[in-house]
Amino acid sequence: MELKDRVPESLRNNVLIVKVDELFRWAHANSIWPLSSGLACCAIEMMSTATARFDLSRFGYEVFRPCPRQADLLIVAGTLTYKMADPIVRLYEEMPEPKYVIAMGSCAIVGGPFADSYSVVEGIDEVLPVDVYIPGCPPRPEALIDGMLKLREKIMHPERVAEERAKWAERKKEREAKQA
């Protein structure tokens, strides 16, 4: 006897049967709690996204947490300098699994207009595994919303995340070998 046959006849149209981890992923993908950590210019656009006109809460993502222990998404919004790189790694490590990273703006992707500066890290994927890249300087709030919806798709398909992180780990190993 299949599981759905056990449901009483009268309730059959009101019951959905899914796997537990799929249900969990579905819930997670629709209620991401981002860490409210802004580095530079993009942080202002991140704040605008959360406020009245763009209203990120339509998608259930408005619960910005100031503490990394309560957050599951790190939006790196702004230029990462070498001085700030250690704290950002630490913030990432303090976040509980499963966790995701969005690189918002060209500074976070490749260093942006400051790439040839002596103090700027050329892209946060040198430091952290990034799931979604949002180009722009700064990206408009619509772009951030689009990026978060892309992330939703990724959370629903964890095999894609795993594949990309494996590639990232490989790239990191290669880079370290080159530096050594």
Partner 1 sequence: MKAAAPAKRTETYLLNMGPQHPSTHGVLQVKLTLDGERILKAEPVLGYLHRGIEKLMESRTYVQCLPYTDRLDYISSMNNNFGFAMAVEELANIEVPRRAEFIRVIMAELNRINSHLIGIGTLANDLGASTGMLYCFRDREYILDIFNEVCGARQTFHYIRIGGVSGDFTDKARSLTEAFLERVPKFLAEYDQLLTGNEIFTRRIVGISPMTAQEALDLNMTGPNLRATGVARDLRKLDGYSVYGELDFAIPVGEHGDNWDRYQVKLKEIAESAKIIRQCLDKLPEGDIMAKVPKVLKPPKGEVYSRSEGTRGELGFYIVSDGTTKPYRVHIRRPSFVNMQGLDLMCRGMLIGDSVSAYSSIDPIMGEVDC
Partner 2 sequence: MKQRYLTAEELARIKGEFYTVSIDEEERPPIYVSPEEFLPLMKMLKNDHTLSFTHLSCLTAVDWKDTIDVVYYLFSELLGAYVVVKVKTIRNHPEIPSVTSVFPGAEFEEREVYDLMGVRFTGHPDMRRILMPEGFKGHPLRKDFTYKKPAPPKATRVGEIEKEADL
**Alpha-carbon distance 154 to 161, whole Å?**
7
Residue 95 is a binding residue for partner 1 (CB under 8 A): no
In this chain, which of 51, 165, 169, 171 binds partner 1, going by CB under 8 A? 51
By CB under 8 A, residue 57 contacts partner 1: no
- Is 177 a residue that touches partner 2 (CB under 8 A)? no
Residue 147 contacts by C-beta under 8 Å, 6 or more apart in sequence? 102, 104, 132, 133, 134, 139
Binding string to partner 1 for residues 121 to 160, with x set by CB under 8 A, is what? ----------------xx-x--------------------
CB within 8 A of 50, min separation 6: which ones? 56, 57, 62, 64
Among the candidate windows 7-15, 19-27, 80-88, 123-131, which touches partner 1 by CB under 8 A?
Answer: 80-88
63 near partner 1, judged by CB under 8 A: no
Contact pattern from residue 47 through residue 76 relative to partner 2, giving x for each residue in contact according to CB under 8 A and a dash for the rest: ------------------------------
Binding-site size for partner 2 (CB under 8 A) equals: 24
State the number of binding residues for partner 1 (CB under 8 A).
33
Angle at 95 between CA 90 and CA 100, to 5 degrees: 105
Query: CB under 8 Å to 134, separation ≥6 — which residues?
Result: 102, 103, 104, 105, 143, 144, 146, 147
- Which one among 48, 126, 146, 150 touches partner 1, defined by CB under 8 A? 48
Report d(CA 32, CA 154) in Å as an integer: 12
**Binding footprint of partner 2 on the chain (CB under 8 A):** 82-83, 85-86, 89, 92-93, 97, 118-119, 121-122, 126-129, 162, 165-166, 168-169, 172, 176, 179
